[in-house]
Chain A
Amino acid sequence: MSLGKLAERLLHLVPVLLGVSVIVFLMMALTPGDPVDIMIGDQNVTPEQEQAMREDLGLDLPVHRQFFVFLGNAVQGDFGTSFYHRRPVLDVIVERLPATIELSLVALIIALVTAIPLGVLAAIRRNSILDKMATVGSLLGVSLPGFWFGILLLMLFAVHLQLLPVSGRIGFSSEIEPITHFLLIDTLLRGRPDAFWDALKHILLPAITLGLPMTAILMRVTRTSMLEVMRQDYIVFAEAKGLKRGRILFRHALKNALIPTVSVAAIETGSLLGGNMIVETVFGWPGLGRLVVESVFLRNYPLVQAAVLFYAVTYVLLNFIADILYTTLNPRVKL
């Protein structure tokens, strides 16, 4: 892909972000519920006091003016102040981001290392018991609700077997000075294998829960595309040439079969963001997803707007990466 094309794609981000801003703003404005009312809660206040709070949050302006104030500030990188945290929303979001990214990456790794071998196996042993089990398993994986599956894992591994912790990112005796804010990396950089092990135990259940639907999808994609490739002439030719089966599978078939898997994985990584909201709530994971859920209920408009914009950017970028990967891996396709 040429630099010009790249720049063109990046330019596409602008209308997308603008559109997303308008939609989010309108949706928050149209959703019933008033942040000031929620904030005051069950207290007796005078209408004047209520009005003063509204003015303080900038909610006394008409919606269209609120939007332009937001847009004007956002262009300069200022996404406003969180109604509840009373700090710049960007600060609040950035604090929570590493936890979410780390969890998503581990979920992605778990999904890839389980889905690809299983998919290949299911394809080469087509219609075997293993293939059928994998099919049923992937159906379950896509359909099990995350909050249910997560709590099930929790009850089994944390409460009954007491093998893994219930919630959080790391234990209280594993205090480490952050470097990258990714605990699995920081613990190693600080030379603390015990803390690394602790962090790994904490991330395991949430990452499995988060990665499950993705594992299921990737396995199906790998299986289908592997079957497709195995029917190609060059594989038949390789077999006729008397090449070893292992060499055919890994050198010739898998390399091509993985192209769709990789691009689906890149796109599906975006959907991990949605899954995060549930998984982080169940496992008390201190990430962005949970923060957004809390903020929606509290009608913390500035935080929700900034977070949704962030999700939109991430999603667009991931799609973009998927395209690049696809063309790089498959020279037949040109963007």
Chain B
Amino acid sequence: MVRVRRVLFATAAALGLSLSAAQASELRVGFTLDAMTLDPANHRNRETETIIRNMYDGLVTRDGDMKVVPQIAESFEMVSPTVYDFRIREGVTFHDGSSLTAEDVRFTFERLTAEGAMGDGQTSPRKSLLGPVESVEVRDGNTVRITLSEPWPILPAMLPFQEVVSKAFVEKVGTQGLATQANGTGPFKLVDWRKGDAIIMERFEDYYGGAPSIEPVGEACVERAIFKIIPESASRVAALLAGDVDIINELPPFSVEQVKSNPGTDVMTVNGTRSFFVAMNMEGDLFSDPRVRRAAAHAIDKDLIIDRILGGNAARIEGILSPDAFAASTDLPVYEYDPEKARALLAEAGYPDGVEITMDTVGAYKDIAEAVASLLTKGGFNTRVAVGEGAQMTQKWRTKGGPKSGDMYFTSWGNGSLDPFDIFTPTHRTNDRGNSAGYANPEVDRLLDAAAIEPDTQKRAALYREAEQIVNGDLPYVYLWVPQDIYGVSKRLTGWRPSADSRINLHDACVD
């Protein structure tokens, strides 16, 4: 028995030593979801992209201020509202040692946009992320020209979502092979994908350095980077506290204090891109009355909820756009918290004794929705919260013009591109995908449609601002806040900061 114990101790000690040796320059991220595939063109999933983006670079990327800057492209210009030219950088190599050419870029975009280009008659599920891209061609050796079928000014904002693949490699391994193998130009190359468990990557020594405008330029800081998949929040926090991982995403607000007070860990936040709002069913009798909608806006004390429940980690909004988004207005009228006024407006609308309503939401938002409901109740809306599953709620509220039932819907819409096109239009255009309020205003539709194709940045911003003013008056939604994304980090981590587009770029991250 003693002998067995000794052997066990010796193995444990050896294991401990080998672990600490490996940790010398190994960075681990505790992450919510595994990649579905490693093929940059064959998924429609944000988490998958976050992982892939550390192995694959794009034509362009975003810097710390979310500005779109050249990455594999050396420069780009808008030749006309429907034609963009990208000059391709020289000296970029793929992980297999081959050099990247303009032809690889052309191939990448053709694979993304052409019907049936994925093989077996399949089209890339990412095609719609490139809107009206019509053709891609190589001009004078190292320039790639993208032609659009109609003006689409958000093309540069959408390009960071696409990564460049090697034509020769894809032709060699096929779409099937690309699902589990990676050959990018990014700062890390794939070592092992333990499906469902972890993606292990090592530094790519021949990295061209990345976007020249984002310091530091050069190869990655750490030798090994690992995405470790831990879906459950409590377990993710436990892994951070135990020192198993150095970064965790989606730190729940209620764990912020625990992570802060632990000696080896800290919390980092960044303005997110997800706007929260309460949709009011304008097709129903109650909320078709603008006075009732204004009453609801006056009944909700946003500052109180941001302060008490979100731990101060959110920015309040008076329109759909995040303060960081393109064309966001700063001078929108504010509906101040005033429960008296709310009740008075309700009385004026014919409800002197208040009304009984139900507010739908999903499980993840239940606590906050309850708080909003209790404020609404004080303002005369006797509110009950009903929790449903996400997909079910989407079907009920985002009816795309179909009949709508229900009173209120506490929900959110993400805006990774930080452009109004992807959030303002779907939530406010008549019968559009995200229009859960059933809002219809031809003037707003006209402004949104015009802005979608206006190539002049100033004019485009002005169109969106005009629409924001109208919407702020019509009030189909009570606009609430944009929460910050919260990350837990180990104190041995340096050089990394969270990014507003919720990418986790490990190129600059170092561990002591």
- B is a partner of A: yes
**Residues of A at under 8 Å CB distance from B?**
31-34, 37-46, 49-50, 52-53, 56, 82, 84-87, 95-96, 99, 147, 151, 154-155, 158-159, 162, 165-169, 171-175, 193-194, 197-198, 281-284, 286-287, 290-291, 294, 297, 299
Partner of A290, one of B7, B26, B231: B231
B229 with A86: CB separation less than 8 A: no
B392 with A56: CB separation less than 8 A: no
Within 8 A of A (CB), among B372-390: 389-390
A147 to B14, CA, bound (A): 33
**In the complex, which residue of chain A has the Cβ closest to the Cβ of B429?**
A44
Residues of B within 8 A of A175 (CB): 192
Partner of A166, one of B200, B235, B416: B235
Closest 8 CB pairs of A and B: A33-B391, A286-B196, A286-B197, A49-B128, A32-B392, A42-B414, A166-B239, A284-B230
B244 with A56: CB separation less than 8 A: no
Task: Check if B470 is an interface residue, CB within 8 A of chain A.
Answer: no
Known: A41-B414, A42-B423, A173-B18. A291 touches B196 (CB 8 A): yes
Known: A159-B241, A168-B228. A44 touches B122 (CB 8 A): no
B8 with A197: CB separation less than 8 A: yes
Task: Check if B421 is an interface residue, CB within 8 A of chain A.
Answer: yes
A198 with B15: CB separation less than 8 A: yes
Given A33-B389, A284-B230: 16 more A-B contacts, CB < 8 Å: A32-B391, A33-B394, A34-B394, A39-B125, A40-B128, A40-B433, A44-B421, A52-B127, A95-B195, A151-B235, A166-B235, A168-B197, A172-B226, A284-B197, A284-B235, A287-B196
Binds A, one of B32-40, B50-58, B138-146: B32-40
Residues of A within 8 A of B392 (CB): 31-33
A159 to B7, CA, bound (A): 25
A56 to B117, CA, bound (A): 12
Residues of A within 8 A of B195 (CB): 95-96, 286
A41 with B44: CB separation less than 8 A: yes
Residues of B within 8 A of A162 (CB): 242-243
Residues of B within 8 A of A33 (CB): 389-392, 394-395
Chain A CB count within 10 A is highest, among B232, B234, B274, B423, for: B232
A32 to B405, CA, bound (A): 15
A146 to B239, CA, bound (A): 19
A261 to B34, CA, bound (A): 39
Can you name 15 A-B residue pairings with CB atoms under 8 Å? A37-B398, A42-B415, A43-B129, A45-B128, A53-B128, A87-B176, A96-B196, A99-B196, A154-B235, A166-B239, A166-B242, A172-B198, A172-B224, A174-B15, A299-B391
Known: A34-B394, A56-B122. A282 touches B235 (CB 8 A): yes
B433 with A39: CB separation less than 8 A: no
Chain B CB count within 10 A is highest, among A53, A159, A171, A290, for: A159
**In the complex, which residue of chain A has the Cβ closest to the Cβ of B121?**
A56
Within 8 A of A (CB), among B413-428: 413-416, 421-423, 425-426
**In the complex, which residue of chain A has the Cβ closest to the Cβ of B420?**
A44
B128 with A167: CB separation less than 8 A: no
A31 to B430, CA, bound (A): 27
Known: A37-B391, A159-B241. A86 touches B37 (CB 8 A): yes
Task: Check if B450 is an interface residue, CB within 8 A of chain A.
Answer: no
A290 to B34, CA, bound (A): 11
A96 to B44, CA, bound (A): 21
The 0/1 profile, CB within 8 Å of A marked 1, for residues 115-128 of chain B is 00000001101011
Partner of A168, one of B21, B179, B198: B198
Quote the shortest CB–CB distance from B130 to chain A (angstroms): 10
A284 to B235, CA, bound (A): 8
The 0/1 profile, CB within 8 Å of A marked 1, for residues 232-254 of chain B is 10110011011110000000000
Residues of B within 8 A of A147 (CB): 232
Chain A CB count within 10 A is highest, among B34, B235, B421, for: B235
Residues of A within 8 A of B15 (CB): 171, 173-174, 194, 197-198
Residues of A within 8 A of B394 (CB): 33-34, 37-38
Residues of A within 8 A of B44 (CB): 39-41, 84
Task: Check if B79 is an interface residue, CB within 8 A of chain A.
Answer: no
A290 with B196: CB separation less than 8 A: yes
Residues of B within 8 A of A159 (CB): 238, 241-242
Residues of A within 8 A of B396 (CB): 32
Residues of A within 8 A of B8 (CB): 197
A159 to B125, CA, bound (A): 41
A136 to B14, CA, bound (A): 41
Task: Check if B42 is an interface residue, CB within 8 A of chain A.
Answer: yes
Task: Check if B89 is an interface residue, CB within 8 A of chain A.
Answer: no
The 0/1 profile, CB within 8 Å of A marked 1, for residues 145-185 of chain B is 00000000000000000000000000000011001000000
Quote the shortest CB–CB distance from A41 to chain B (angstroms): 7
A197 with B196: CB separation less than 8 A: no
Quote the shortest CB–CB distance from A56 to chain B (angstroms): 6
**In the complex, which residue of chain A has the Cβ closest to the Cβ of B116?**
A56
**In the complex, which residue of chain B has the Cβ closest to the Cβ of A293?**
B231
A56 with B37: CB separation less than 8 A: no
**In the complex, which residue of chain B has the Cβ closest to the Cβ of A169?**
B197
Task: Check if B19 is an interface residue, CB within 8 A of chain A.
Answer: yes
The 0/1 profile, CB within 8 Å of A marked 1, for residues 1-23 of chain B is 00000011001101100110110
A154 with B238: CB separation less than 8 A: yes
Quote the shortest CB–CB distance from A29 to chain B (angstroms): 13
Task: Check if B457 is an interface residue, CB within 8 A of chain A.
Answer: no
A45 to B422, CA, bound (A): 9
Chain B CB count within 10 A is highest, among A39, A167, A286, A294, for: A167
A310 to B125, CA, bound (A): 28
B43 with A84: CB separation less than 8 A: yes
B395 with A32: CB separation less than 8 A: yes
A197 to B123, CA, bound (A): 46
Task: Check if B209 is an interface residue, CB within 8 A of chain A.
Answer: no
Residues of A within 8 A of B234 (CB): 151, 154, 282
B235 with A283: CB separation less than 8 A: yes
Quote the shortest CB–CB distance from B421 to chain A (angstroms): 6
A95 to B34, CA, bound (A): 14
Residues of A within 8 A of B179 (CB): 85-87
Task: Check if B194 is an interface residue, CB within 8 A of chain A.
Answer: yes
A171 to B433, CA, bound (A): 44
Known: A40-B44, A299-B391. A172 touches B235 (CB 8 A): no
Task: Check if B25 is an interface residue, CB within 8 A of chain A.
Answer: no
A127 to B395, CA, bound (A): 57
B232 with A282: CB separation less than 8 A: yes
A174 to B197, CA, bound (A): 14
Residues of B within 8 A of A151 (CB): 232, 234-235, 238
Known: A39-B125, A42-B422, A53-B125. A86 touches B42 (CB 8 A): yes
**In the complex, which residue of chain A has the Cβ closest to the Cβ of B423?**
A42
Residues of A within 8 A of B255 (CB): none
Residues of A within 8 A of B415 (CB): 42
Quote the shortest CB–CB distance from B173 to chain A (angstroms): 13
Task: Check if B446 is an interface residue, CB within 8 A of chain A.
Answer: no
